[in-house]
Structure 1
Amino acid sequence: MEALNLVLFVVEAVAYFVLMVTLLHFRHRLGLGVFLTALGVMHFMETYLAAVFYVSLPFGDVSPGSSVFFSGKLMMILMLYLWEDAAAVRQPIYGLFLGNLLTVGIAWVLQLHQPLQLSSDQTPDVDFLKEMGWLMIWGTALLYVDSLGIILLYEKLGDFFRRRVVLRFIISGFVLLTFDQVGFFAALHYFLDVPVAVFWGGWKAKMLAVCLYGAMFAIYEYRIRRLGAAAAARSISDVFGDLTFRERYNDLLERTGRDMLTGVYDRTRMELEAPLMVREALRQGLSASVLIIDADHFKDVNDGYGHLQGDAVLKSIAARLGTTLRSSDRIFRFGGEEFVAVCPGTNHEEGLLLAERLRWTIATSVKTPDGSPVTVSIGVAAADEDGTSFTTVLSAADGRLYAAKKSGRNCVVGRSGVVNSGKPADPPVNAIG
């Protein structure tokens, strides 16, 4: 009997793999939804079989629902990631998790009804619904962690076995299904009083299933898909970001708080981020410079050439600021024709050099429609030399901007006064890169 059960175990694993990989292989013709639906529709059966249906194998008592079908589902999720991307694989992860929460919620609401008993053989089993509900919630929570974990581990193993795709596939399955066996058996033991001996039989069966799926995966990869080179390496943080929708949040955040005209960050974004940038620089023992840049005589540009030309000048100024500042710096539109640059890791002297480079770049590259140069005045202050909060440093820079305007404009003013003015023939030395 044990030998027959083992043969059936292998047949079930092969049949599951062949069917699911066929759907995955033809996903562009059939639609990915067919594969995802087939992946999710068996979840209730898997959980039910794991709770009540066990067979005897040579190495112990096991449940095919857990050892064959759940293990296969997890390996299919990893294969989906390998052939698509993290954005695709998160669909079944979240769909299964939220779908089973909904299923359990509906089951609990149904218990409020007074059902009819049509016959003695059709009595609703409310206790079964409760037990299965908690098991499904726990099982899908584990599946969520398993799915993220198996993908992240697969990518991490790429640091050591970049071209050993099958080896990474099998090791990832061994580790995460061991974790899953511990977690799911704990729930079975708690809710259904399943004996401890079943744990070891189930663990061995899952390891056998991984070996079977790994072997079939290798055959498919190298005989059917003819995989040539390993996939390009991705950082763990990028993969995790895709799996958890973090990249959607980052994209939304990146597009939120932008000035519609110039494309730089707006004042609201400055009030949120600039204090954090200054505080973090000081925490690391670094300085942070704050520059206020104001376009000189900008009202004359608007009055003389119209607001559309004035807008074009502002866009050009913002573009020059963006290309001259470093990637670690942030530029914000403060209001009207004023911009604020926050430059972490930059002391006051370096901030003055950067400000002079900005002034020179704009004076030599931004022009009005008649070819006249557009100039800017800049006030510079730094933390912690001028204060330890962004507001204090900004206030100091604002005062120096006012001094720059009084000094004839087209100049940079720091703590010691005017640094430079006029139109130099050569660009200033950029001491901070």
Structure 2
Amino acid sequence: MASSNALLLFAQAIVYFAVMMSLLRARRAIGIGVFMCALGVMHFLETYLAAVFYIELPFGIVSPGSTVLFSGKLLMILLLYIREDAQIVRQPIYGLLIGNFLIVALVMILRNHETIQVAVGRLPDIAFVDEIGWLMVWGTILLFIDAIAIIVLYEKIGDLFGRHLGLRFLISGAIVLTFDQAGFFLALHIVTGAPLQVFFGGWAAKMVAVVVYTALFVAYLKYFSSRERWLTNRPFRDVFNELTYRERYWDLVEATSRDHLTGALDRRLYDKDAPKIVKANLKDGRPLTMLVIDIDHFKRVNDQHGHETGDKVLKSISGILLDNLRSDDHLYRFGGEEFVLLCERLAPEGAVSLGERLRRAIERQSQYLLPEKITVSIGVSSLTDDGETLEQLFQAADQRLYKAKSSGRNKVLGPDLS
């Protein structure tokens, strides 16, 4: 019986993954709303199964609701993030939070009705509804925390496992579902008196579920999608900011102020606003640093692969730079293949560290996104240490950029901090 139960759970996972990934894949044709609705409709069923429906497996007693449905939903949220972005995935996260709380609030009012019996033996079990309500509230809070945590963790470990998407998926899922199992079992034990073996059996089942879903994910990448299009390694701080509705600076700037090819702020904005930024930070005594970023051997790319490929390189590099911005950063396309990044409230050592992170990210991701590995050289300057005007900052950073290129390229050179 235990082995047949395991096979049935595996079949459920296959069906769930196949349907949800089909909806995600077809989102351009049918809309992302279909995927999100399918993602959110089963929360009550998950809670009900977690409260009363248990089966025996070789490694313990488990609930299919937690093992297949909840684990699958959480991992689908992560898949939606790495396939789209934080601004898209926060919609189901907040939608599930608000929708589930709304259900509980309405049920709390509904339970005060004077009910009548319309069929023999068919009366509402209010006590059970109360149990489900408390479990839904707690489960919804856990889901909200889990959904943000799994995305932040996925990005946080990107520096260690950047190219191994399956491993990042597996580790993130295993850690967050372990936390979830502990949190939900605590409430389940208090409300229903569930024994400790339910915790261990459920934890083991969720770990197996993560392995199964990861294997399905990797198989999907191999046979049905391009792995390179799933690459992401954004700063987890910016991911968290977007998920919690703290918009980044450049989202508030009108599209007309951006370079049409790269999406960076254009040269006109640099000439107009950058001097004001320098003056304001100098007046307030805040640190300000400048990074001048130049793509190495860009002319060779144009000569060997054509200007269309050159445009693709500019878009890709700019995209990586924009994805790594803080809220106090301003990225400008200065001209050609050169970008200027002004970083408010960032000391010189922090700017050099940021430059190194950008350099590594571009070098790593370009080998998947572009026809050949692309590198950049970066010069860093600091307000007051290198000057007190925009022109002086640019001159110092540009000189260090020239030294980085003349000494072998693919380097970051900043002020001497010794």
Post-superposition shift, 1:322? 3.9
Pair 232,18 (structure 1): closer, same or farther in 2 beyond 3 Å: closer
1:30: which partner in 2? 30
Residue identity in the other structure for 2:275: T
Give secondary structure in 2 for the equivalent of 1:160.
Answer: helix
Determine if the alignment matches structure 1 residue 157 to structure 2 residue 171. no
Shift of 1:155: 0.5
Q: Does 1:343 align with 2:284?
A: yes
Give identity over the alignment, percent.
49
Q: 1: CA distance between counterparts of 2:92 and 2:135?
A: 19
- Is 1:140 the counterpart of 2:101? The answer is no
- Contact 2:81/2:151 (<8 A) preserved: yes
In the alignment, the residues of structure 2 paired with residue 80 and residue 96 of structure 1 have an alpha-carbon distance, to the nearest angstrom, of 15
- Cα shift at 1:161: 0.8
Describe how 1:379-390 pairs up with structure 2 within 5 A.
none
* 1:130-177 C-alpha deviation (Å, 9 max, x unpaired): 111111111011000000000011001111011000100011010000
Distance 1:115 1:233, change over 3 A: same
Q: What secondary structure is seen at the aligned counterpart in 1 of 2:247?
A: helix
Deviations 1:278-312 (A, max 9, x none): xxxxxxxxxxxxxxxxxxxxxxxxxxxxxxxxxxx
Question: Any conservation in 1 of the 2:93–2:147 contact (CA below 8 Å)?
Answer: yes
Residue 223 of structure 1 deviates from its aligned partner by 1.4
Matching residue of 1:329: 280
Query: Mind listing any 5+ residue stretches in structure 1 that lack a counterpart?
Result: 256-317, 331-340, 347-427
The residue aligned with 1:55 is 55
| Superposed CA RMSD | 2.5
The letter for the 1-side match of 2:224 is I
Q: Which residue of 1 aligns with 2:113?
A: 113
* Counterpart for residue 191 of structure 1: 191
Aligned equivalents of 1:239, 1:118: Cα separation in 2: 52
Structure 1 residue 249: deviation in Å?
9.3
* Max Rg structure: 1
CA offsets, 1:323-355, max 9 Å, x none?
43454825xxxxxxxxxx833159xxxxxxxxx
Deviation at 1:112, TM superposition (A): 1.8
Quote the Cα distance in structure 2 between the aligned partners of 1:74 and 1:429: 50
1:12 is matched by which residue type in structure 2?
Q
CA distance in 1, matches of 2:152, 2:181: 19
Residues in 2 aligned to 1:323 and 1:61: alpha-carbon distance in whole angstroms: 62
Q: Determine if contact 1:163/1:230 at 8 Å carries over to the other structure.
A: no
Q: Deviations over 1:200-229 (max 9, x none)?
A: 000000000001000000000121103136
Distance 1:122 1:429, change over 3 A: closer
Describe the shift of the 1:29–1:131 C-alpha distance in structure 2 as closer, same or farther (beyond 3 A).
Answer: same
SS of structure 1 residue aligned to 2:103: helix
The TM-score normalised by the length of structure 1 is 0.61
The residue type equivalent to 1:195 in the other structure is P
2 CA distance for matches of 1:327 and 1:8? 64
Match of 1:241 in 2: 241
Secondary structure at 1:342 match in 2: helix
**Secondary structure, counterpart of 1:124 in structure 2:** coil
Mapped to 2, the partners of 1:100 and 1:249 lie a distance apart of 32
- Whether the 8 Å contact between 1:97 and 1:140 is mirrored in structure 2 is yes
Change (3 A) 1:197 1:323: closer
Contact 1:162 1:230 (8 Å CA) reproduced: no
Report the equivalent of 2:89: 89
Cα pair distance change 1:248/1:118, threshold 3 Å: farther
Decide whether aligned partners of structure 1 residues 214 and 244 sit closer, same or farther in structure 2, where only a CA change above 3 A counts.
Answer: same
Structure 2: 5+ residue stretches without partners: 255-268, 288-386, 394-418
Counterpart residue type for residue 212 of structure 1: V
Contact 1:5 1:55 (C-alpha < 8 Å) held by counterparts? yes
Contact 1:54–1:62 under 8 Å retained in 2: yes
**Matches of residues 291-302 of structure 1 in structure 2 within 5 Å?**
none
What CA distance in whole angstroms lies between the structure 1 residues aligned with 2:113 and 2:104?
15
Instruction: For 1:10 and 1:429, locate their aligned partners in 2 and report how far apart those are by CA, in whole Å.
Output: 65
Query: Is the CA contact (8 Å cut-off) linking 2:24 and 2:32 kept in structure 1?
Result: yes
Matches within 5 A, 1:63-102: 63-102=63-102
Secondary structure of the equivalent of 2:161?
A: coil
CA–CA distance in structure 2, aligned partners of residues 241 and 328 of structure 1: 27
Distance in structure 1 (CA, Å) of the matches to 2:210 and 2:388: 62
